[in-house]
Chain A
Amino acid sequence: MNSRKFLLWLLILSIALIITLIISLGVGAVFIPPDRVFAVLVNPNQSGLDSSDIAIVRDLRLARVLLVTLVGAGLAAAGAAFQALFRNPLADPYIIGASSGASLGATLAIAFGLTWKFAGFRPIPLAAFLGALSAVFLVYIIAGGNSKATVISLLLAGAAVSTVLSSMVSLLMLTKSESTHEIFAWLMGSFSGRSWPQLWSSGPYLVLGILMLWLVSRPLDALSCGEDTARTIGLSISKARGVIIAAASLVTAAAVASSGVIGFVGLVAPHIARLLFGASHHRLIPASAIIGGLLTLLADDLARTLMAPYELPVGLITSLVGGSFFLYLIRARQRSLRGKS
């Protein structure tokens, strides 16, 4: 695919994303048609606009759909980066412990009613954010740190730490049964009630992390060819790995802090992007981000409408739809492989 064709595709996807954003702004307990949403966004001062439309779109839904998009984009970019770093098609943003760390943090905050706040984060997001970063840091240290860690030691340490932290979450849920419902709802992942404060506290980390991952797209290319090759073309493996893990974990921590553990987007979106645009990360990172944003937005729309006025956890939708779609992808690829041999 040449670069003009790639840019055209990217443009098409971006337009699809914007259209989905506008539709998403209208979807919910009160339906607002896209033309009225568009009017509110473009020129809210024009006469003839319903003031409740303005309030619903701008004050209630705009921040939420932007957060949904950024979280989806961030998880997808982090997933693409980890799939390259670990040379493993099953890698997702949570592979080195971010989700279990965030879960434990959030569970502790809920179970013990913590009230700390910091830098715009409310207590539960703050605990989840710190939990995710601490878990990844712990995994990194256990795996051998900057000089000795290998892909395998990171994966093994990630699995072990995740198991231990998850069992601690289960233990807390059993002993603090009055908080079980809230903890469970958080673990499923949801954007319910998220608005401007969550967008302002998590958004900057998400944007920053995605840009950092895009910036290291060529080192990601090199790592995809194996560490030996990457090193013989002049890449410092430990430095590159440190930067990639830091950026991807920042994104993942900010995502789980704002909305809980949302599964499958970070696994599936990079695969779709790779099928469409190939494996070069200069294209794969932005394409994954847009596709991830789009998928999460659609999942959140379904979560809000399927059983309206009740809201389903968006993580349930992404796992259900994303998982099924992933099955389809695996089958489709198997067919093409068989066709070749």
Chain B
Amino acid sequence: MTTFAIDQISCAYYQLPVLSHISFEVHAGEILALIGPNGVGKTTLLRTMARLMRPVEGKVILMDRDLWETSLRDTAKSLAFATQAGSDTWDATVEKIVALGRAPHRGWFMPLTERDRHIVKKAVEQVGLKDLHERISSELSGGEQQRMNLARVLAQEPSVLLLDEPTAHLDMKYQTEILHLIHKLAHRDGLTVVISLHDLNLAAIYADRVVLLNDGGIDAIGTPVEVMTSQRLTSVYGVPILVTRHPSRDIPFILPDIQLMEEADNE
């Protein structure tokens, strides 16, 4: 089943084209990872899908409706977006910020209901911030802010979740825990997730499908095994990349090909 369809979209910042004629579909309940080199347009694509940027051409279809012909509030009820952490912080408590996720459901003038409070509490617990819920956001570490943002979008109770580098500032423990949580929400509760990731191994482990972006377009789309081949990654990233098997799963394991690089140095 298709939840989210990107139909021939092109995006540009002012006159500078970033993406051209991209089409793909996101299936309900899957985790789709966007991968590709820096500056290739992963964030632009997510912002376009989140209705923060209007595509120059093409359509974004969310559950059979054109995203731009739906009211902002209706969009926000089914679609949530966590931006990269660090840029915007409001000096309020974690609880207040997470509670903002309830805004599309309760309207701008209604107080929080008992149910809202319960959902906020659950979201804060899910990301492991229970003990910090009364902390001021600017006093949190980068990783804690990242998890607070995730709690806010979870409190929004969307059916589609867009995440821009949600593991960027996190250590191994929280990277794993956050992605494990997202994995559970997708596969157990049917949440659809589109996530941009720099770490190719995390993408290989947690994504059902990956979209490899390069040169303003889609280089490949499919399961991690299909897309993440040594040849393709080497050509897209421009460095020798070795792809082997994960020791316990049938998924690719990606690492820089040091031997080839050293050989190149010695020539």
Q: List residues of chain A with CB under 8 Å of any chain B CB.
A: 87, 215-216, 218-219, 221-222, 224-226, 228-229, 231-236, 274, 278-280, 340
The answer for the CA separation of A286 and B119 in the assembled complex, in Å, is 28
Q: Which of B80-110 contact A (CB under 8 A)?
A: 80-81, 83, 87-93, 96-97, 100-101, 103-104, 108-109
Interface residues on B, range: 20 to 34
Interface majority SS (helix, strand, loop, mixed), chain B: mixed
The answer for the CA separation of A110 and B226 in the assembled complex, in Å, is 79
Most A CB within 10 A of own CB, among B50, B51, B91, B92: B92
B72 touches A226 (CB 8 A): no
Q: Known interface pairs A221-B100, A233-B103. Does A226 touch B88 (Cβ–Cβ under 8 Å)?
A: yes
Contacts of A236 in B (CB 8 A): 72
Contacts of B100 in A (CB 8 A): 221-222, 225, 229, 233
- Which of B72, B91, B96 interacts with A234 by CB under 8 Å? B72
Contacts of B51 in A (CB 8 A): 231-232
A231 touches B72 (CB 8 A): yes
Number of A-B contacts defined by CB within 8 Å: 74
Contacts of B101 in A (CB 8 A): 233
A232 touches B90 (CB 8 A): no
Contacts of A221 in B (CB 8 A): 90, 92, 96, 100
Q: Which of B88-141 contact A (CB under 8 A)?
A: 88-93, 96-97, 100-101, 103-104, 108-109, 136, 139
The answer for the CA separation of A34 and B91 in the assembled complex, in Å, is 41
A-B contact pairs, 21 of them (CB 8 A): A218-B108, A218-B109, A221-B90, A221-B100, A225-B89, A225-B97, A226-B87, A228-B88, A232-B50, A232-B80, A233-B80, A233-B101, A234-B72, A234-B76, A235-B103, A235-B108, A236-B72, A278-B91, A278-B93, A279-B91, A280-B93
B75 touches A234 (CB 8 A): yes
A235 touches B90 (CB 8 A): no
Contacts of B75 in A (CB 8 A): 234
The answer for the CA separation of A232 and B47 in the assembled complex, in Å, is 10
The answer for the CA separation of A279 and B103 in the assembled complex, in Å, is 17
B109 touches A215 (CB 8 A): yes
The answer for the CA separation of A225 and B85 in the assembled complex, in Å, is 11
The answer for the CA separation of A105 and B15 in the assembled complex, in Å, is 42
Contacts of A231 in B (CB 8 A): 51-52, 72
- Which of B47, B50, B90, B152 interacts with A279 by CB under 8 Å? B90
The answer for the CA separation of A335 and B77 in the assembled complex, in Å, is 43
- Which of B90, B104, B109, B136 interacts with A233 by CB under 8 Å? B104
Contacts of A87 in B (CB 8 A): 88
CB distance from A76 to the nearest CB of B (A): 18
The answer for the CA separation of A39 and B89 in the assembled complex, in Å, is 51
B73 touches A234 (CB 8 A): yes
